[in-house]
Structure 1
């Protein structure tokens, strides 16, 4: 028995077991539960999250490192001068949508067309994905019938009453020749990028989580069982067919059985961990921990990707209010006009974010920070097991900035960020630039290595595709294992441009359609 403790076999069976009640898992479970004859079990390691620290969008920083955060940490990274990155990930019913900034970023057209090319399935292409977004969204912004839905389950709107800082950011972009759009999720994500007020999942000042949109309306359905506080330890296999899962519940090992399918939606760390601890993954990695390989898939845990960013901070002339959780404007742009999509991602926060201690500069008492980020990083990391048991932590090696091209893009991103923030558009609001200020290239590279943080968008560790490192096929079925699928950010062949919550909702919707044998409508 791998999970230790007492074993308790649960007699009750299910048709579908969805492991993980994060963004994608909530969607999959809800759509499957809409079939009245389908018995669905939704298992989640965390608990229900309903306090003001969750419902108030402005309190999202307080959730980092809390019980609602897996609080992963990267291994020492030589490309960051030995620093270890904090890698937060949502834990609880709703997952990341309980602790994130609630930015709704749908990804660039080229992202989805890349998914289609890698999988060999046009159903993952941009034209098809627009149908999914129209199904998902209840859009409360400028009408765009070609791209936006108005009757979906998820409330999406631009910042309701944008603060002067957000409006100044758009004006600064305009003065630089960056086009300003009514939304970051329409035409702007079909071309070179631009600037826009941020689309947010915030309704009447409250967080509108994916759990609230998909599971809460169905939580009393007799065919949907929700089990929080249950840590999935491994997949139960009969030969090379998934028949259920083993989980730790109240200190006991319990078994749950599925007559149809098991769906892993535990995120880009815990999904590959569970696969490997079930004997599915790279043979050498499994044998190091005395795990007998059942199905050798070299790509499990490989191809790790994340958006990294570098905080640039300005001091206010006087304290200003924070609106909509603090993130009301965004800028996507290219470091090279020959690129097919923006590779620079700028997220504005209306408060001063402390830099890592290695930077050595304290933030002002009153100010704001723009994160100059990489939307298309070329660096690739990997995950390794820390042990064979479910309580053993994963060894996460992000390898951030390991690709030389990423340092060049980082320099361009910080330069654009500083040019924006020092624009005359901010003269009535800002006193001075605090971090990083003008520096020689060598010193700026050091600043970038010392200031790098993550947007917490870990993905791509069980990617969809057709090459030797692919883990799932175009229908999200795990290669070599029957009745087992994956539906979360780990299946992305490449990280999408922008925040990953919205693409994960699409992955959940499409996974449910594929399981039920239907198409988006």
Structure 2
């Protein structure tokens, strides 16, 4: 196939594919996929093709980190929704996921949260690989971080990703920190230091944001500097529809770009980095999954992997505990400049609660009908209760054989009683902090939920619960029968195929998931290079 002449100045390919065969094909240019593609392309002698279903990240709503909310529901969002759920009183919450080069890192709130020590140590135990332990991944973090905050030997300062504290945050954020400290949750200068190794803390989040609120996305950091290399091609608007197999080996992929079908071969490996919804979808469409479920849809089975699409996990965010401002205050930076990590039970090994400040009135479609919610982003602020370690599990299943049909997503929210109990505690904690003397100068009135009995509080939680936008865990790594990939991210029973994205997490990390997905991408590239003897 001839090399196309229709490329941008940044070598983002906009039509056709220049080669019939690449050494490596990376499906998905999100957080993990961007890292894998760049690290493989750092080896001059190998060729890499990156396929991204979305468009360019060079648009203002992406590059300006303060405008991240405008991407939700736009063409840069896959627009997924969960199935209606009894545990949410029939509601079907939205599940936003980035559909743009850089994926979630191009449309999220730019929060850099490493994850807790117990998260990664549990991954190492489940996989039998100490390379996934907290001590090991901390070395990866130090390698990639360009931390500008308080000096700490646990943080990296020479890496490509500029990580900083918010500039001139809204005054209510500091007041919330003082109020949380009064409840026994210490205010800290770095939420990725002691709170990620002990149990609790509050303060300003780490942000992947540069001067002038410029988003530090993974695409901008990893891919943009590599565009123009002769061994890396990036095709946008390219939706992968099926993996091509010869026996038990993946040999390439089929995809559609701008209405045209393409087939490209991989001489070495295909790496699937499509996220926790589209990764299991592609695997199942290709015959990898629960064979009984696939047979019922008429999909020829290849390998029986009953764990594909199971184990869905997401942090729950409640929308939310709202206070009207005494004096209106416009959002600043990422409009989420304060966070808490806390335990609902002191016996827990790590934090299970992660409330966050949203510098606007954040209500669900159900709670907005019940309460007098102020209009305008500067009219009110929300301390949104959040669940860091959900016990509930959901699933992703195929709706049929159409590769362009959205899958059926059972988010599983609030199915486990312990999740409800934790969120009851979290709502009361947020109300205690929001109604404190320290925060009183910024409060005209509490908008919702106000004092509630237990039954009313549970109804409020079911009406307010939604996604933190951290969908993960649907192709988990491990050694049991429900595992999909091994510790090296190779799909069980298949050669030439790995998965590298948030779907491989056995359990979701504590905190926003962008940073752990960078670690997954870095680890995947290291494992591939070691396995192939390159780099």
Contact 2:250–2:270 (CA under 8 A) maintained in structure 1: yes
Q: Which of 425, 429, 452 pairs up with 1:412? A: 425
For normalisation by structure 1, the TM-score amounts to 0.96
Once residues 63 and 218 of structure 2 are traced to their aligned partners in structure 1, the CA distance between those partners, rounded to angstroms, is 12
Give 1:372's aligned residue. Answer: 385
What is the SS of the residue equivalent to 1:506? helix
Q: Which of 261, 265, 272 pairs up with 2:269? A: 261
Give 1:286's aligned residue. Answer: 294
Matching of residue 189 in structure 1 with residue 196 in structure 2: yes
- The equivalences for 1:10-49 within 5 A come to 12-49=20-57
Matching of residue 152 in structure 1 with residue 159 in structure 2: yes
Give 1:350's aligned residue. Answer: 359
Once residues 208 and 271 of structure 2 are traced to their aligned partners in structure 1, the CA distance between those partners, rounded to angstroms, is 26
Structure 1 residue 437, shift from structure 2 partner: 0.4
Once residues 16 and 270 of structure 1 are traced to their aligned partners in structure 2, the CA distance between those partners, rounded to angstroms, is 19
Contact 2:290–2:308 (CA under 8 A) maintained in structure 1: yes
Once residues 65 and 100 of structure 1 are traced to their aligned partners in structure 2, the CA distance between those partners, rounded to angstroms, is 13
Once residues 87 and 442 of structure 2 are traced to their aligned partners in structure 1, the CA distance between those partners, rounded to angstroms, is 36
Give 2:8's aligned residue. Answer: none
What is the SS of the residue equivalent to 1:517? helix
Structure 2, unmatched stretches of 5+, are 1-15
Contact 1:10–1:254 (CA under 8 A) maintained in structure 2: no
Once residues 390 and 426 of structure 1 are traced to their aligned partners in structure 2, the CA distance between those partners, rounded to angstroms, is 51
Q: Which of 385, 389, 412 pairs up with 1:399? A: 412
Give 1:91's aligned residue. Answer: 99
Q: Which of 473, 486, 490 pairs up with 1:477? A: 490
Contact 1:15–1:258 (CA under 8 A) maintained in structure 2: yes
Once residues 184 and 287 of structure 1 are traced to their aligned partners in structure 2, the CA distance between those partners, rounded to angstroms, is 47
Q: Deviations over 1:347-394 (max 9, x none)?
A: 111111233235521422311011101100000001110111211110
Once residues 447 and 108 of structure 1 are traced to their aligned partners in structure 2, the CA distance between those partners, rounded to angstroms, is 29
Q: Which of 210, 231, 236 pairs up with 2:218? A: 210
Give 1:248's aligned residue. Answer: 256
Give 2:3's aligned residue. Answer: none
Contact 1:489–1:504 (CA under 8 A) maintained in structure 2: yes
Note closer, same or farther for the CA distance 1:318–1:29 as it changes in structure 2 (3 Å cut): same
Once residues 431 and 392 of structure 1 are traced to their aligned partners in structure 2, the CA distance between those partners, rounded to angstroms, is 47
Give 2:171's aligned residue. Answer: 164
Give 2:13's aligned residue. Answer: none
Structure 1 residue 174, shift from structure 2 partner: 1.1
Contact 1:351–1:368 (CA under 8 A) maintained in structure 2: yes
Count of residue pairs brought into register by the alignment: 512
Q: Deviations over 1:494-515 (max 9, x none)?
A: 0000100000000000000000
Which stretch shifts more, 121-130 or 384-393?
384-393
Give 1:516's aligned residue. Answer: 529
Matching of residue 457 in structure 1 with residue 497 in structure 2: no
Contact 1:355–1:363 (CA under 8 A) maintained in structure 2: no
Note closer, same or farther for the CA distance 1:313–1:9 as it changes in structure 2 (3 Å cut): closer
- The equivalences for 1:120-159 within 5 A come to 120-145=128-153, 147-159=154-166
Structure 1 residue 11, shift from structure 2 partner: 5.3
Once residues 462 and 190 of structure 1 are traced to their aligned partners in structure 2, the CA distance between those partners, rounded to angstroms, is 27
Structure 1, unmatched stretches of 5+, are 1-7
Contact 1:111–1:497 (CA under 8 A) maintained in structure 2: yes
Contact 1:243–1:258 (CA under 8 A) maintained in structure 2: yes
4+ residue stretches of structure 1 with deviation over 6 A? none
Give 2:115's aligned residue. Answer: 107
Contact 1:232–1:247 (CA under 8 A) maintained in structure 2: yes
Once residues 403 and 121 of structure 2 are traced to their aligned partners in structure 1, the CA distance between those partners, rounded to angstroms, is 36
Note closer, same or farther for the CA distance 1:9–1:221 as it changes in structure 2 (3 Å cut): closer
Once residues 438 and 228 of structure 2 are traced to their aligned partners in structure 1, the CA distance between those partners, rounded to angstroms, is 52
Give 1:179's aligned residue. Answer: 186
Contact 1:355–1:362 (CA under 8 A) maintained in structure 2: no
Structure 1 residue 222, shift from structure 2 partner: 0.9
Once residues 371 and 203 of structure 1 are traced to their aligned partners in structure 2, the CA distance between those partners, rounded to angstroms, is 26
- The equivalences for 1:312-351 within 5 A come to 312-351=321-360
Structure 1 residue 10, shift from structure 2 partner: 7.5
Once residues 66 and 17 of structure 2 are traced to their aligned partners in structure 1, the CA distance between those partners, rounded to angstroms, is 43
Matching of residue 440 in structure 1 with residue 440 in structure 2: no
For normalisation by structure 2, the TM-score amounts to 0.94
Matching of residue 299 in structure 1 with residue 312 in structure 2: no
Structure 1 residue 49, shift from structure 2 partner: 2.1
Which stretch shifts more, 246-255 or 134-143?
246-255
Contact 2:363–2:464 (CA under 8 A) maintained in structure 1: no
Structure 1 residue 9, shift from structure 2 partner: 9.5
Once residues 270 and 289 of structure 1 are traced to their aligned partners in structure 2, the CA distance between those partners, rounded to angstroms, is 18
Once residues 106 and 85 of structure 1 are traced to their aligned partners in structure 2, the CA distance between those partners, rounded to angstroms, is 26
Once residues 355 and 319 of structure 1 are traced to their aligned partners in structure 2, the CA distance between those partners, rounded to angstroms, is 22
Which stretch shifts more, 47-56 or 209-218?
47-56
Once residues 454 and 250 of structure 1 are traced to their aligned partners in structure 2, the CA distance between those partners, rounded to angstroms, is 31
Greater share of strand residues, 1 or 2?
A: 1
